Chain A
Amino acid sequence: MKVDLPTPTFGGGYDGQAGPRMGFFTDTSICIGCKACEVACKEWNLVPQDGPLRLTGDSYDNTGALGASTWRHVAFVEQQRGDEGLRWLMSSDVCKHCSSAACLEVCPTGALFRTEFGTVVVQPDICNGCGYCVPACPFGVIDRREEDGRAFKCTLCYDRLRDGLEPACAKACPTDSIQFGELDELRGRAERRVATLRGAGVGEARLYLEDEADGIGGAGAFFLLLDEPEVYGFPPDPVSTTRDLPRLWRAAALAAGTLLAAVATAFVGQRR
Chain B
Amino acid sequence: MANSDCILIQGSNMAECHPVAFQWVVEAKQRGAKVIHVDPRFTRTSALADLHVPLRAGTDIVFLGAIVNHVLENERWFRDYVVRYTNAAVIISEDFADTEDLDGLFSGFDPEQGTYDDTSWQYAGAGDGGHAEGEHESETGQHFGALGAPTGVAEPPEQDETLQHPRCVFQLLRRHFRRYTPELVERVCGVPASQFLQVAELLCENSGRERTTSFAYAVGWTQHSVGAQYIRTAAILQLLLGNIGRPGGGIMALRGHASIQGSTDIPTLYNLLPGYIPMAHAEGYPDLATYIEQHTKKGGFWGHMDTYLISLLKAWWGEKATADNDWCYDYLPRISGDHSTYRTAMDMLDGKVRGFFLLGENPAVGSANARLHRLAMAKLDWLVVRDLVEIESASFWRDGPEIETGELRTEDIATEVFLLPAASHVEKEGSFTNTQRLLQWREKALDPKGDCRSELWFMYHLGGIIRERLAASDDPKDRPVLDLTWDYPTSGPHADPDAEAVLREINGWGPDGRALSAFTELKADGSTVCGCWIYCGCYAGEVNQVARRKPRDQQSWVAPEWGWAWPANRRILYNRASADPDGRPWSERKRYVWWDEQAGEWTGEDVPDFPRTKPPHYQPPEGATAEDANRGDEPFIMQVDGRGALFVPSGLQDGPFPAHYEPRETPFTNPLYGQQQNPTRQEYGRPGNRYHPRPGDPEADTYPYVFTTYRLTEHHTAGGMSRFQPYLAELQPEMFCEVSPALAAERGLVHGGWATIVTARAAIEARVLVTDRIRPLTVEGRTVHQVGLPYHWGSRGLATGDAANDLLSIVLDPNVHIQEAKAATCDIRPGRRPRGAALPKLVAQYRMRAGLEADADEG
Interface residues of A, Cβ cutoff 8 Å to B: 30, 32-36, 38-39, 42-43, 48-51, 53-55, 57, 59-60, 62-63, 78, 80, 85-90, 174-176
Contact = CB atoms under 8 A, between A and B. Distances in A.
A85 B195 CA distance: 13
B713 interface: yes
B22 A32 contact: yes
Interface string B1-40: 0000000000000011001101100100010000000000
A32 B48 CA distance: 7
Given A30-B48, A88-B46, A90-B47, A36 B19 contact: yes
A54 B733 CA distance: 6
B23 A176 contact: yes
Contacts, number: 96
30 contacts: A30-B30, A32-B15, A32-B45, A33-B15, A33-B44, A33-B713, A34-B16, A34-B19, A36-B19, A38-B727, A38-B731, A39-B727, A43-B727, A53-B730, A54-B733, A54-B734, A57-B752, A57-B769, A60-B44, A62-B731, A63-B730, A86-B42, A86-B772, A88-B42, A90-B44, A174-B20, A175-B19, A175-B22, A175-B26, A176-B26
Interface centre among A39, A43, A89, A175 (most CB of B within 10 A): A175
B127 interface: no
Contact of B23 (A33, A60, A80, A175): A175
Contacts of B16: 32, 34
Contact of B734 (A42, A49, A53, A59): A53
Contact of B44 (A32, A50, A80, A85): A32
Contacts of B19: 32, 34, 36, 174-175
Contact of A50 (B30, B714, B730, B732): B730
Contacts of B20: 174
Nearest to A36: B19
Nearest to B42: A86
Contacts of A87: 47
B773 interface: yes
3 closest A-B pairs (Cβ-Cβ)? Answer: A53-B733, A88-B47, A57-B752
A78 B772 contact: yes
A88 B773 contact: yes
Contacts of B47: 32-33, 87-90
A34 B730 contact: no
B713 A35 contact: yes
A174 B23 contact: yes
A91 to B, nearest CB: 12
B297 interface: no
Nearest to B20: A174
Interface centre among A34, A51, A60 (most CB of B within 10 A): A60
Contacts of B52: 85-86
Given A55-B734, A174-B20, A174-B23, A34 B44 contact: yes
Nearest to A89: B47
B687 interface: no
B288 interface: no
B767 A55 contact: yes
Interface centre among A39, A54, A78, A88 (most CB of B within 10 A): A88
Contacts of B726: 48-49
Interface in B734-755: 734, 736, 751-752
A56 to B, nearest CB: 8
Given A35-B713, A174-B23, A53 B729 contact: yes
Interface in B302-329: none
Contact of A49 (B44, B46, B727, B752): B727
A167 to B, nearest CB: 17
B185 to A, nearest CB: 19
Contacts of B713: 33-35
Contact of B736 (A30, A32, A55, A85): A55
Contact of A62 (B15, B730, B752): B730
Nearest to B50: A200
Given A48-B726, A57-B751, 10 more contacts: A30-B48, A32-B16, A42-B727, A49-B730, A57-B752, A62-B730, A88-B46, A90-B44, A175-B26, A176-B23
B253 interface: no
B799 interface: yes
